[in-house]
Amino acid sequence: MTEKLFYSDGYLRECEAAVTGVTESGIILDRTVFYPEGGGQPGDRGTFGPYAIEDTVKADDGTPIHIIRGKKPSIGEKHLLSLDWEHRYSYMTEHTAQHLVSALLFSKHGIGTVAVHLGERFLTIETSSSAIDDDTLFSAEDEANAAIRQNLAVYRRVMSHSEAEELGMRRSIKVSSDSVMVVFIEGLDAVGCGGVHLASLGEIGEVQYCGQEKIRGHVRTIWKCGALSVAYRRQNRAVAEMLSSMLSSEPENAAEALRRLEDETADLRRKVKSLSGKLAYYEYSQHLLGTERGKAVIFSTDEDIQAFENVLGPDDPSEAFIIDGNGRFMFHGTGERFALLRSGLAAYSIHGGGRGMMYRGSVKGNPVDILDNAGVLLNGWSGNV
């Protein structure tokens, strides 16, 4: 049996250990400070002498397996086992913050916790509720930070099942063994948990509610804590100041200034679209004047091809093939004539379709060559205009 030192002292960063077993993926040690993945908390990583431990997982019997890729040490080999402490402490902080938030959601707002995930960027708590307003979650944030300022103690006790059941915990006991590990937040919460936690809430620093999403019919809430919360808050401040500067407004007025800018941009887009349509009509008319009556109008344009879509109506019998600088084309004509054009330009990777008298798509190659070939197909001449 591996001696799990992380339960006697969650702040131990290293220990001497010996290999007692080697598996396909890693090693088993006689003692360890590495917590194996479980309860939403990722496994620890670090080093065992010269070997890099990428992760720690549980065997079926709960034994920690330290994952090592490639060459592994031999049974009996001894080395110093050292944690990646920054990684461990970050997840200890998140796990403790999750207990705190889940406890307050339950005790103050009657909201249960269904599942949790501790991540490198944020922690999530999937709740038992199908809808929660942001005011409730901001209240939970305030309550959590008040508890952090009180620096309430966090500790664990190993109890019998019957003792644990008498606590009336917010979550049912998941293990079937005779003893249960119960994690307490002083005067606030008690819940069965085999994870690793901080010794007091003050170490969390702060908790911040960041949003919510729906999953499986439940609300999943998103939180940041500790250093991640501080970094997020400062990042948001920097973004707000940058936007305020760009919009020439105070931070509290930035949203309204942005809405005005969006309205102005939408108005400009409408005007640009209208002008593009007029330019397209003018350009088409100039090429039409230079085209023999009854022949297709064929040319390239610097305008976006979409500007020409309203130049020719569905009842106009005129035939036109126009390509823009991005290799997009518009063909106005019958489906039979478009089939001829598509077949004749197959070497130019022509793709597209449509119906009635309007067809759109893309074509690749030298525009001069494409127009010259289109002229041969549609008008029977060589040399584009």
pLDDT for 384 equals 44
CATH number of 3-83: 2.40.30.130
Sign of the dihedral through C-alpha 104, 105, 110, 111 = negative
- Greatest Cα pair distance, the chain, in angstroms, is 98
Q: Indicate the residue type of 137.
A: L
In angstroms, the CA 36 to CA 56 distance is 5
In angstroms, the CA 130 to CA 328 distance is 47
What's the 3-state SS for the chain? CCEEHHHHCCCCCEEEEEEEEECCCEEEECEECCCCCECCECCCCEEECCEEECEEEECCCCCEEEECCCCCCCCCCEEEEEECHHHHHHHHHHHHHHHHHHHHHHHHHCCCEEEEEECCCCEEEEECCCCCCHHHHHHHHHHHHHHHHHCCEEEEEEEEHHHHHCCCCCCCCCCCCCEEEEEEECCCEEEECCCCCCCEHHHHCCEEEEEEEEECCEEEEEEEEHHHHHHHHHHHHHHHHHHHHHHCCCHHHHHHHHHHHHHHHHHHHHHHHHHHHHHHHHHHHHHHHCCCCCCCEEEEECCCHHHHCCCCCCCCCCCEEEEECCCEEEEECCHHHHHHHHHHCHHHCCEEEEECCEEEEECCCCHHHHHHHHHHHHHCCCCCC
The CATH T-level fold of domain 276-379 is Diaminopimelate Epimerase; Chain A, domain 1 (3.10.310)
pLDDT for 172 equals 84
Q: Indicate the residue type of 109.
A: H
From the list 147, 129, 128, the residue with the least C-alpha distance to 139 is 147
Q: Which residues of the chain have pLDDT under 50?
A: 382-385
Q: Which residues of 8-26 are buried (b: 16+ CB within 10 A; e: fewer)?
A: eebeeeebebebeebeeeb
pTM more than 0.75: no
In angstroms, the CA 299 to CA 384 distance is 8
Q: Indicate the residue type of 49.
A: G
Q: Do 276-379 and 3-83 have the same topology in CATH?
A: no
Q: Where are the domains of the chain?
A: 3-83, 89-244, 276-379
pLDDT for 383 equals 45
Q: What is the pLDDT of residues 292-330, one digit of tens each?
A: 888 999 999 998 998 998 898 888 889 999 999 899 999
The CATH T-level fold of domain 89-244 is Threonyl-tRNA Synthetase; Chain A, domain 2 (3.30.980)
pLDDT for 253 equals 84
Strand pairing class (113-118; 46-48) = unpaired
From the list 379, 374, 286, the residue with the least C-alpha distance to 323 is 374
Which residues face 330 on adjacent strands?
322, 360
